[in-house]
């Protein structure tokens, strides 16, 4: 039986040509010319002045938090339901993530709950757009302005998405992307920070590269990591970026196709196709089981695998992470919607290389699984 992987990227544009150029010229490190070109072109797609490419989206968040001057004892507001990269960037500098429950329909953080969580220690709000629909940005920006807070925008899953017609990635004082292969454009591993602030951009460049002192190399006033991005990654990124619009359209078509076919299966909450501020770009095609369905997402993953279908469970909540519980963080905190999504949400194959025939097989398999558990 052919197994349908949960993600397969599409690499049939100029990727090979640009990679060969790297090999032919010998430019394979972060010093190569494609890196700057990719930074310029990617940041331009989201109307930002500066792009700083780094080794992955997690590194981008870490650099964003550090460059924003967030440190020991500061608080950063963020969703309870997200990838650990968001919380880790904050806890690594000794700051505290302050969590917000999710909206059960958009799966993004519930903006209504933010203001009550702002304290004198709050330094920033981290906007994390999840699964294909943007957060209600205007309301977050208004709060940030009212309380003089910084905004870090994690647009890892949002290449090509807009909020009220403006690109995601253009809203934070600093915004970040990931280019992991399940993203709309990929560089294998990779990430980027984008900003309009010249000083912040310079600080990010320093932090991504071991904080080498400008005047004397190999002398360091500060410690940071090596989060450099190679010319090889940039070669792939440039080729992918040429097709961003096509890829977004392809994902939207996939989303519509799945929704059309899955609409009549009972017990599934499907992704919202349109909000008044954005159309879904289906980072992945996520599904949440209705409460009357007893099974959880781990069971679904196993049953789908038996049908030859790859799937993944949704993120696990930050307050339920064993490492944070061990550290005494988030004690007795509960975020019921986030907990529900983490247990009942999963996504089905939705990579850019997916064919209609494969999608039909996924739909048939999912229907069979749902009939077996109901």
Nearer CB in complex with ligand PLP: 95/155: 155
Q: Toward ligand PLP, which CB reaches closer, 191 or 255? A: 191
Please identify, using beta-carbon distances, which residue of 57 and 97 lies nearer to ligand PLP: 57
Which residue's Cβ has the minimum distance to ligand PLP?
A: 57
Nearer to ligand PLP, 186 or 337 (CB): 186
Which token pair is 18? 């640009």
Chain residues that interact with ligand PLP, rule: CB under 6 A: 56-58, 82-83, 85, 128, 154, 156-157, 178, 180, 191
Distance CA 100, CA 107 (A): 12
Strand order in the sheet with 312-313: 268-269, 285-289, 345-348, 312-313
Pick between residue 130 and residue 370 the one whose CB is nearest to ligand PLP. Answer: 130
Q: Write down the least CB distance from residue 125 to ligand PLP, Å.
A: 15
Pick from 359, 349, 346: nearest CA to 313: 346
Q: Which is nearer to ligand PLP, 56 or 122 (CB)?
A: 56
H or E segment to which residue 61 belongs: helix 57-67
In the complex, least distance from residue 240 CB atom to ligand PLP, rounded to whole angstroms: 14
Cα(178)–Cα(158) distance, integer angstroms: 9
Task: Give the shortest CB-45-to-ligand PLP separation in angstroms.
Answer: 18
Q: Smallest distance, Å, CB 283 to ligand PLP?
A: 7
The minimum distance between CB 217 and ligand PLP, in angstroms, equals 28
Q: Contacts for 142-151 with beta carbons within 8 Å, 24 or more apart?
A: 143/114, 143/115, 143/118, 147/118, 147/122, 149/77, 149/118, 149/122, 149/123, 149/124, 149/125, 150/68, 150/70, 150/123, 150/124, 150/125, 150/174, 151/124, 151/125, 151/126, 151/127
Please report how close the Cβ of residue 145 comes to ligand PLP at its closest, in angstroms: 24
């Amino acid at each position: 039986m052919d197994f349908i992987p949960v993600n397969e990227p599409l690499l049939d544009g100029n990727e090979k040509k640009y990679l060969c150029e790297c090999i032919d010229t010998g430019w394979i490190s972060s010093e190569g010319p494609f890196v700057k070109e990719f930074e310029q072109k990617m940041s331009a797609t989201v109307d930002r002045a500066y792009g700083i490419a780094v080794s992955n989206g997690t590194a981008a968040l870490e650099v964003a938090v550090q460059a924003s001057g967030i440190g020991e004892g500061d608080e950063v507001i963020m969703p309870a339901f997200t990838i650990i990269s968001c919380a880790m960037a904050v806890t690594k500098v000794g700051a505290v993530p302050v969590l917000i429950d999710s909206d059960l329909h958009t799966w993004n953080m519930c903006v209504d709950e933010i203001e009550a969580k702002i304290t004198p220690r709050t330094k920033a709000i981290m906007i994390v757009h999840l699964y294909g629909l943007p957060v209600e940005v205007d309301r977050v920006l208004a709060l940030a302005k009212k309380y003089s807070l910084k905004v870090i925008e994690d647009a890892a899953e949002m290449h090509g998405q807009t909020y009220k017609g403006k690109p995601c990635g253009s809203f934070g004082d600093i915004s970040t992307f990931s280019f992991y292969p399940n993203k709309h454009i990929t560089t294998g591993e990779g990430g980027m920070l984008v900003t309009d602030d010249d000083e912040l951009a310079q600080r990010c460049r320093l932090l991504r590269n071991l904080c080498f002192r400008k005047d004397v190399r190999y002398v360091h006033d500060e410690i940071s990591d090596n989060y450099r991005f190679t010319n090889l990654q940039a070669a792939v990124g440039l080729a992918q970026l040429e097709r961003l619009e096509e890829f977004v359209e392809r994902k939207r078509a996939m989303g519509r196709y799945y929704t059309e076919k899955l609409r009549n299966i009972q017990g599934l909450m499907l992704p919202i196709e349109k909000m008044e501020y954005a159309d879904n770009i289906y980072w992945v095609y996520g599904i949440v089981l209705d409460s009357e369905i007893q099974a959880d997402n781990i069971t679904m993953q196993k049953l789908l695998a038996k049908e030859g279908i790859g799937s993944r469970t949704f993120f696990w909540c930050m307050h339920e992470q064993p490492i944070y519980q061990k550290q005494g963080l988030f004690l007795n905190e509960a975020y019921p919607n986030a907990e529900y999504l983490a247990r009942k949400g999963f996504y089905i194959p939705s990579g850019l290389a997916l064919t209609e025939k494969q999608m039909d097989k996924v739909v048939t398999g999912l229907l069979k699984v749902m009939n077996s558990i109901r």
